[in-house]
Chain A
Amino acid sequence: MTTLAQASTLRGVTADLDALLRRVAEEDVEAFAAFYDNTRARVFGLVLRVLRDPGYSEETTQDVYLQVWRNARTYNPAAGTPLAWLMTLAHRRAVDRVRSEQSASQRESRYGAANVDLPADRVAEAVIQLDEQRQVTECLESLTDPQRECIQLAYYEGLTYVQVSERLAANLATIKSRMRDGIRGLRKCLGVS
């Protein structure tokens, strides 16, 4: 997969996911395929980021899209964009799998030391030319290191706030405020109203 092809896939996300999802709710296989093509890199990438194992990630990605197929009709446009609905679903499935599969320590030993490659670093070396990605990178970089670390552990590692505070040896109130400020910063930077 060349960078260019991936770029066009990612751009396609702005295509009318809303309309596709409505057709998926009517069991339109073609619309389902298009919805998958427009979102698969985001879903698989997030799941892989959380699970770290390509095999588990494939299975979980498949479960996510089966859930999309079955539950498309429960999508409520008033509650958010289709992408947010999908990514929430994907994140929840991935974190559920992590928590059910094994403890965090086992996961680290199995897939090598959990090197903290912040998403910001990945993007920087990968496909920087994309406007959207550059914007996201800049937004991630605008956070303080402790804020980014908290989001990293809670979102991508699937740790609870209590576990994050234990991992970072900081008290819970501090962690909660770092998370809150970090997400608020991202939200503002990314222009989410």
Chain B
Amino acid sequence: MPQTELDDVDRQLANVPPPVAIAFADEVRAVRETMAKLSVATAQEPPSHLRERLLAAVGGEARVIEMRPQSTRWRTAALAAAAAVAIGLGAIGVGIAVRPEPKPSAAEQIFAAPDVRTVSGPIPTGGTATVVFSRERNAAVLVMNNVEPPAPGTVYQMWLVGAKGPESAGTMDAAAVAPSTTAVLPDLHGSTALAFTVEPNGGSSAPTTPAFAELPLA
């Protein structure tokens, strides 16, 4: 049903006597169970990299890096991320379980957004970049899997590409490009793509090399 009709149904359900609402809910439940059983008929194995990507996305939340264009703040974030990794991955599961009701992280808020979308693409030198983003939250989470670290003296720089051209979204140095790296892009500026270039250490104010990868944010 289109959304307008669904809203209509909700409105009408709010006004019917309870027995009717219960009967309706029961009918909906039965249809859902039927269709769930039917799903065995179309079952098909997804590619195995999807599993890695998903686990990196949910497991990586514990060491999310907040990316800022300014290099000093970025260095602090990179240090914090390195420290988080040093504390040990094994502790993450326990750490999350006993944490007292944390404020949802930026990544959590993006994952929870009703309009959350995922785009991913291969990096020519190996590995995959995945962006999970929400227009409503105006933010994105970038997950890099098995990406080769940049050559010594260089960094990877992320660019949000919009109508006004590319705008830096932060850099990643060799230390930041772990087997799986997660980073938050806190402001999408209405951009339509996320591009990656190789830049000298510290990053550049505008791209100096052609993008080696680009993900459309649509």
A binding-site residues for B, Cβ under 8 Å: 1, 6, 9-10, 26-30, 32-33, 36-37, 40-46, 48-49, 54, 57-63, 65-67, 69-71, 79-81, 83-88, 91, 119-120, 122-123, 130, 132-133, 136-137, 140, 155-156, 160-161, 183, 186-187, 190, 192-193
Contacts and interface: CB of A to CB of B under 8 A. Distances in A.
B63 interface: no
A54 B44 CA distance: 11
Interface stretch (B65-73, B114-122, B177-185, B200-208): B114-122
B1 A192 contact: no
Given A27-B58, A32-B55, A183-B34, 19 more contacts: A28-B93, A29-B55, A29-B58, A33-B51, A44-B45, A58-B120, A61-B46, A62-B53, A62-B57, A63-B117, A63-B118, A67-B116, A70-B112, A86-B36, A87-B35, A88-B36, A119-B38, A160-B2, A192-B30
Given A63-B118, A70-B108, A80 B35 contact: no
A176 B30 CA distance: 17
Contacts of A120: 41
Contacts of B37: 132, 136, 190, 192
Nearest to A124: B41
Interface residues of B, number: 45
Contacts of B96: 27
B87 interface: no
Contacts of B32: 80, 84-85, 87-88
A130 B40 CA distance: 10
A173 to B, nearest CB: 16
Interface of B: 1-2, 5, 25, 29-47, 50-51, 53-55, 57-59, 92-93, 96-97, 108, 111-112, 116-120, 130, 132
B90 to A, nearest CB: 12
Interface centre among A66, A160, A183 (most CB of B within 10 A): A66
Given A36-B51, A87-B32, A91-B35, A136 B40 contact: yes
Contact of A69 (B34, B47, B111): B111
A71 B40 CA distance: 24
A183 B31 contact: yes
Contact of A29 (B34, B53, B59, B117): B59
A58 B50 contact: yes
Contacts of B117: 59, 63
A46 B39 contact: yes
Nearest to B29: A80
A66 B118 contact: yes
Contact of A62 (B1, B93, B97, B118): B118
B54 A66 contact: yes
A26 B100 CA distance: 12
B26 to A, nearest CB: 10
30 contacts: A6-B45, A9-B45, A10-B43, A27-B96, A28-B97, A29-B55, A29-B92, A30-B93, A32-B54, A36-B51, A36-B54, A40-B46, A40-B51, A42-B43, A43-B39, A45-B43, A59-B120, A65-B54, A66-B58, A69-B111, A79-B29, A84-B29, A88-B35, A122-B41, A130-B40, A156-B42, A183-B34, A186-B34, A187-B33, A192-B30
